[in-house]
Amino acid sequence: MILAQVEKNRKSVSLQLNSETKSELGQFFTPSAIASFMASLFNVNGEKKINILDAGAGVGSLSAALLDRLAAYPLEKIDLTAYELDKHLLPHLKANLDRYQRFFDEDFQIAFSLDLEGKDFIVDSVLRYFSNTAKSFDFAILNPPYKKINSDSAHRRLLRKMRIETVNLYPAFVALALKLLKSGGQVVAIIPRSFCNGSYYKSFRQFLLREASIEQIHLFEARDKAFGEDGVLQENLIIHLSKHGKQGDVTISTSLDGNFTGLKEWNVPFNEVVRSDDPELFIHIPHHESDEESSIYENFRFTLEELDIQVSTGPVVDFRLKAHLLKNLESGAAPLLYPAHLDDFGVKFPLENFKKFNAIRENAETLKYLYPSGFYTVIKRFTSKEEKKRIVARVVRPDDVPGKLVGFENHLNVFHHDKLGIPEDLAFGIAAYLNASVVDTYFRQFSGHTQVNATDLRRLKYPSKKKLLELGQWAKSLNSFDQKMVDAKVETL
């Protein structure tokens, strides 16, 4: 009942948020279904007193869900500390959590005390930590703000004092919460997936794996564009950590959406999540789905970062550079490739009577958009509904396009290495892999839209470099594109 009132309040306050403060303070509030799921993850082990932290509490949706759940336990005392920096939200937060005061007093005889801190969580906790006035908590429930921290900011300096090195507010909140927990205390947080890999978050991963055990990770598998109220769920995960916990198997759960449709759960050995031989401590989230998907996950587990290549959207936006575009290649110009230049097998250049352009002038304004001639795998960003495959990948070879430079138009995605070409066999290997039907089917399942964006290609998993090179060596010797042969070959990987 109270939860329904809090949810109503959350929705109305969300609509009134000022868009500047919303992005400045990372104000995306948690819908009640997700908040209740998060609350359900805490293990309540016969404690009599529970001390809770909700840092960046918004209107109190997470605390409310946790208090709702705890009412079912024979507790004597609950203390809740909620931090919220935005003064406009404090009256809502107070009103929502005050309802629990009456609820616990009258209906459950649980002593409930509420400490609302209208302060910056980072500043206040660090100051308290060093003046020995910090509280220690049993449970921390968090949907922290997501925002970059500048390297010379006060936040960064304060966090450094606690030996927390991070580039974003959300890991800082999780790390501080872990510091403030009692040994054996638990954190449940909904946070972006970005900390799982990448060198920027290595120090946070080290901290996290040193301080806590990973008990559970929940993923949302968005199937369409309109997923989640703010469209951000797909990039987020829920993590359950136990401070100084003994690391055992990790529970992985997935649901199709934020209402937990199709909820599935299974356990995996920790070594499949963080491999013991991985100095980067990447956090992998092994899937197990249909046979086809699971074979993709089991066999193809490498990220582009691990393969040391990148994918970008073609940098030449034709309407912005119109003055520099040419129908035909001439001296002082570089070939310009559009999706139309990709044919059934490779690249057809130049195109005669082409409505768009075949070339771009090389000058001070355009040079930064051009790549040196080399081997590149290119993918069409848009395919028509009638086209059988969502992913159409081809290799651009230096011989396909004359000259030292080449332009990729914005409707293409390009695989490159620091804006240079990639090894020939790798370019052919990536193209063959992406052209396989199994990858296309898998891709359609995780990307609801008809576009193939660079972000989607970054999120995909790839075979190892060795396997891609082998595949590429085979693929480059083909004289025509044969779907059945490509599918059969990729299946052998």
Q: What's the burial of 169, exposed, middle or buried (CB within 10 Å: 0-12/13-18/19+)?
A: buried
Kindly state whether residue 83 participates in binding ligand SAM, applying the rule CB under 6 A. Answer: yes
Min CB(187)–ligand SAM separation in Å: 13
Kindly state whether residue 196 participates in binding ligand SAM, applying the rule CB under 6 A. Answer: no
Site for ligand SAM in 86-105 (CB under 6 A): 86, 89
State the number of binding residues for ligand SAM (CB under 6 A).
21
Cβ nearer to ligand SAM, comparing 29 with 462: 29
Kindly state whether residue 57 participates in binding ligand SAM, applying the rule CB under 6 A. Answer: yes
What is the spatial distance between Cα 493 and Cα 155, in angstroms, rounded to a whole number? 47
Cβ nearer to ligand SAM, comparing 142 with 393: 142
Q: What's the burial of 324, exposed, middle or buried (CB within 10 Å: 0-12/13-18/19+)?
A: buried
Min CB(49)–ligand SAM separation in Å: 23
What is the spatial distance between Cα 252 and Cα 271, in angstroms, rounded to a whole number? 13
Cβ nearer to ligand SAM, comparing 32 with 313: 32
**Which among 26-34, 198-206, 385-393, 441-449 is the span making contact with ligand SAM, rule CB under 6 A?**
26-34
Long-range residue pairs from 457-460, CB within 8 A, at least 24 positions apart, any chain: 457/304, 457/311, 457/379, 457/413, 457/415, 458/303, 458/304, 458/311
Q: By CB under 6 A, name the one of 3, 6, 13, 62 that touches ligand SAM.
A: 62
**Which among 51-59, 308-316, 379-387, 457-465 is the span making contact with ligand SAM, rule CB under 6 A?**
51-59
| Amino acid, single-letter form, for residue 141 | I
Kindly state whether residue 64 participates in binding ligand SAM, applying the rule CB under 6 A. Answer: no
Kindly state whether residue 28 participates in binding ligand SAM, applying the rule CB under 6 A. Answer: yes
Kindly state whether residue 30 participates in binding ligand SAM, applying the rule CB under 6 A. Answer: yes
Min CB(81)–ligand SAM separation in Å: 12
Kindly state whether residue 145 participates in binding ligand SAM, applying the rule CB under 6 A. Answer: yes
Cβ nearer to ligand SAM, comparing 56 with 463: 56
Kindly state whether residue 238 participates in binding ligand SAM, applying the rule CB under 6 A. Answer: no
Residue numbers at the binding site for ligand SAM (CB under 6 A): 25-30, 56-58, 61-62, 83-86, 89, 120-122, 143, 145
